[in-house]
Structure formats: C-alpha cells, structure tokens
C-alpha cells in the first residue's frame, strides 16, 4: 500500500535529537511515547511550524520538505490540518466563522457533512467560550477538515478532556476517518486512549523510533513492552455485531477474519447498534485469565480458545501473547505461568467477563 505520509525528520535542539523515519498509511496512527520525547516536535515538523535540520516529508506524493532539494513548503500551503491540544479556536469568531476560516466558500455538501458528522450544527452561532471542551475539540476538527486538509494531525486531543468527554470524542474521530478518508496522526502519552482509536502505533522514546506497527506486533522487543506496560494498556479486537441475544441481555460479536466470537453486555453496546456494525472491543490484559482446559459451571461468559505465541517475563509477571484469531496479551504472574507450565505453542483458553469489555 502506498503510504499517505512518508518522512525522515532530523532535528537537533540543545540536548535533544529527534531522528524519526516512517511511512504512514491512510489509517489512524497513534504516536505514543513519554512526555517530552519528541512527539509534538514531530507533528510540528510535519505541519511546518518547526523546520527540521535535515530530512524529507512527502504527503500523498507531494514534497512538503526535502532539505537535499532545498525545498520547504510554507505552513499555509501544506494543507495539513492541525488540531491542537488546546483547540485554538479563535475567541472573537463564532464557531461558523472558525469553521470557514481556512476556506471561505467550501463545498456546501462538505460543510454540511462535517457539521452533521461532528454534530456541531447547534454550535454554529456560538462563540468558543460558550462551548464545552468536547464541543470545542469537535469544532477544531471540523475547521481542519473544511480547510481542505489532506491529513489530520492531532496533538494530545484528549489531555484537556475529562473521561466522559474523551469517550464522547473518540467515536467522532473514527467517523471522520471513515467518512472523509483522511489519514489521522494522533499524539498521546496515554496508551489506553490511543488504543481505543487505533492499534497502529508509532513508538517514540528519546526522539528515536522504537517501533512502528500493530500493537501486538510491537511487543516482541523488551523496551517496547516496558514502554507500553508502564502507561497501562488494552487489547484491541476488531469485531462486528452478529446477533442481539435479547433474552440474555447480551450481544454476540464476531470477527470477520477468524472464528473469534465473544459475548458483550447489551448495555455496553446499546440496543440500537445494527447487525454487522464494526466495533472496537478493548480489554485489559490483567482482566483475562488463562486455563488449559474448558471450564464448566463458571459465571464468565467468554472462554475463547487460542494458541500461545510467546511468553515474555518481566518483574514477576508473565505477558502471554495468545492468538485467538487476533493477537492479544494476557498478563498473569510468573508463578502461575510456571505452575501451569504455560509455553509457546500450547492451546489455552482465555477467560474474561463480558462486563470487563470496553466497546467503541
């Protein structure tokens, strides 16, 4: 697949060196790393706010920067939509004027579609300070799309929002990506937030790229494991609604790529979710138990069979990577792993409660 964005950015700032090279597909990609390790500098370089010392940036085949060719496209000509941590809506304009700032006469269809998708029609005549944090974020996203951006860069979009507002904004981002087919590069130091959006990650530490790829594929390196475990993590499964089990108050979810199927509580998903609706299902690795045999007479609704792909040991814990149709991590104690003789290649059952699932 041709990458939407390719870059190699080298930037020297006092004691800090940013040196990152990557090809970003037309997906939602999460940039994860500790605070102060170069995530925002990377976004600023792509947007043109900061000029790298050397390197290149290509967006959809267009050269935004190439220090060898001495080409550096100005910020205003890059068509890179930047949604900042603090929204940066213009306080003296209404939301409508903010939306139209980058493009005074947008295609009315696009304008209406953005307003509908982000549900900001009721805000159009309000000033930013009359809006909630989540509403302002949605307006800022809308403004970036309407201005004709070819990519959306988001810098810590959740950090200023409380937990409820975070949940509110995540589905909008998924919708934006699907409807407008915009690649989204989203920076966060909060791994669970990122994983609720995407499992395609770019790991940054000390200005260097630790890894780039699918979340579970990144776990094979101890330094990646350490980085991600420290910030709290989730397994992400891509499933679709298969059936509403109304008498049990449950919903049956299935994978389109494998035989994986699980049950979730109706109240977690909602009664109105259509059959075949694609969902992201998240579960913490420590919320999953392992068994070598199917367990009878147990209250847990989900027992999913899988194969142990790897076992990584760290600080008395064992991180078992299990293929259940998708790779997931199961966190058990090293003592349990040893007493159960859990090893690579074995068949195991992953046990978890329906109530422990988060669904977006």
Partner 1 sequence: MSELFKYTASEWSAIQLSLYVALICAVITLPLAIVVGWFLARKKFFGKSVLEGIIHLPLVLPPITTGYLLLLVFGNRGVIGKFFYETFGIQIAFSFYAAVIAAIFVSFPLVTRSIRLSIELVDQKLEEAARTLGASNLRVFFTITLPLALPGVISGFILSFARSLGEFGATISFAGNIEGKTQTLPLAIFSEMQVPGQEASTMRLVVVSVILSLLAMIAAEFLNKRVIKSKTA
- Candidate segments 108-116, 139-147, 283-291, 318-326, binder of partner 1 by CB under 8 A: 139-147
- Candidate segments 21-29, 44-52, 173-181, 228-236, binder of partner 1 by CB under 8 A: 44-52
Q: Per CB under 8 A, does 129 bind partner 1?
A: yes
Q: Per CB under 8 A, does 147 bind partner 1?
A: yes
CA 187 from chain center: how many Å? Answer: 9
Q: Per CB under 8 A, does 79 bind partner 1?
A: yes
Q: Which tokens go with 43?
A: 């976004």
Q: Which tokens go with 226?
A: 């350490």
Candidates 33, 52, 55, 81; binder of partner 1 (CB under 8 A) is 81
What are the Cα distances from residue 77, in Å, to 102, 150, 179?
11, 11, 24
Q: How many CB atoms lie within 10 A of CB 167?
A: 16
Interatomic CA distance for residues 31 and 202, integer angstroms = 5
Q: Per CB under 8 A, does 180 bind partner 1?
A: no
Query: In angstroms, what is the minimal distance from the CB of 49 to partner 1?
Result: 6
Q: Per CB under 8 A, does 148 bind partner 1?
A: yes
The smaller minimum CB distance to partner 1, of residues 101 and 242, is found at: 101
Q: Per CB under 8 A, does 150 bind partner 1?
A: no
Cβ contact 359:264 at 8 Å: yes
- Applying CB under 8 A, the site for partner 1 has a residue count of 26
Query: In angstroms, what is the minimal distance from the CB of 88 to partner 1?
Result: 4
Query: In angstroms, what is the minimal distance from the CB of 169 to partner 1?
Result: 18
Q: Per CB under 8 A, does 49 bind partner 1?
A: yes
Q: Per CB under 8 A, does 76 bind partner 1?
A: yes
Q: Per CB under 8 A, does 80 bind partner 1?
A: yes
Q: Which tokens go with 182?
A: 């915009």
Query: In angstroms, what is the minimal distance from the CB of 320 to partner 1?
Result: 44
Candidates 13, 25, 36, 86; binder of partner 1 (CB under 8 A) is 86
Kindly tell me the sign of the dihedral angle through the C-alpha atoms of 92, 98, 100, 104.
positive
Q: Per CB under 8 A, does 138 bind partner 1?
A: no
Q: Per CB under 8 A, does 183 bind partner 1?
A: no
Q: Per CB under 8 A, does 78 bind partner 1?
A: yes
Environment class of 105 (CB within 10 Å of its CB; exposed 0-12, middle 13-18, buried 19+): exposed
- Candidate segments 32-40, 82-90, 195-203, 235-243, binder of partner 1 by CB under 8 A: 82-90
Long-range contacts for 112-120 (Cβ within 8 Å, ≥24 apart)?
A: 113/179, 114/142, 114/145, 114/146, 114/180, 115/142, 117/172, 117/175, 117/176, 117/179, 117/180, 118/142, 118/172, 118/176, 119/172, 120/95
Q: Per CB under 8 A, does 77 bind partner 1?
A: yes
Candidates 144, 253, 262, 342; binder of partner 1 (CB under 8 A) is 144
The smaller minimum CB distance to partner 1, of residues 86 and 246, is found at: 86
Return the residues of window 108-127 that contact partner 1 according to CB under 8 A. 127
Query: In angstroms, what is the minimal distance from the CB of 145 to partner 1?
Result: 11
Angle at 357 between CA 173 and CA 226, to 5 degrees: 80
Does residue 88 come out as left (phi exceeding 0), alpha (psi in the -120 to 50 range) or beta?
left
Q: Which tokens go with 114?
A: 């953005």
CA 279 from chain center: how many Å? Answer: 13
Cβ contact 158:114 at 8 Å: no
Residues that bind partner 1 (CB under 8 A): 47-49, 75-82, 84, 86, 88, 90-92, 101-103, 127, 129, 143-144, 147-148
């Amino acid at each position: 697949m041709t990458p939407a964005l390719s870059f190699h950015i080298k930037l020297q700032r006092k004691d800090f060196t940013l040196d990152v090279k990557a090809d970003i597909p037309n997906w939602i990609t999460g940039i994860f790393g500790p605070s102060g390790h170069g995530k925002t500098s990377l976004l600023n370089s792509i947007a043109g706010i900061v000029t790298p010392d050397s390197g290149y940036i290509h967006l959809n085949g267009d050269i935004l920067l190439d220090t060898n060719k001495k080409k550096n496209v100005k910020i205003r000509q890059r068509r890179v939509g930047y949604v900042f941590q603090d929204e940066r809506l213009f306080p003296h304009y209404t939301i409508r004027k903010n939306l139209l700032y980058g493009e005074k006469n947008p295609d009315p269809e696009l304008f209406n579609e953005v307003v509908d998708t982000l549900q900001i029609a009721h805000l159009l005549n309000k000033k930013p300070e009359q809006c909630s944090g989540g509403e302002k974020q949605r307006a800022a996203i809308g403004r970036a799309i309407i201005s004709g951006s070819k990519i959306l860069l988001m810098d810590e979009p959740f950090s200023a929002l409380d937990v409820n507002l975070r949940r509110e904004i995540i589905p909008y981002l998924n919708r934006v990506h699907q409807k407008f087919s915009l690649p989204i590069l989203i920076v966060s130091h909060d791994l669970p937030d990122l994983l609720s959006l995407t499992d395609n990650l770019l790991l940054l530490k000390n200005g260097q790229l630790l890894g780039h790829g699918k979340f579970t594929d990144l776990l094979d390196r101890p330094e990646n494991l350490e980085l991600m475990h420290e910030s709290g993590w989730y397994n992400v499964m891509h499933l679709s609604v298969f059936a509403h089990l109304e008498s049990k108050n449950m919903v049956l979810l299935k994978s389109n790529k494998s035989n994986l199927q699980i049950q979730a509580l109706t109240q977690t998903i909602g009664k109105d979710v259509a059959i075949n609706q694609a969902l992201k299902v998240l579960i913490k690795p420590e919320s999953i138990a392992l068994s070598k045999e199917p367990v009878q007479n147990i209250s847990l609704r989900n027992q999913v069979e899988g194969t142990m792909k790897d076992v990584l040991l760290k600080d008395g814990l064992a991180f078992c990577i299990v293929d259940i149709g998708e790779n997931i991590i199961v966190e058990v104690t090293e003592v349990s792993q040893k007493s159960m003789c859990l090893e690579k290649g074995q068949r195991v059952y992953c046990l978890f409660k329906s109530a422990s699932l988060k669904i977006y």
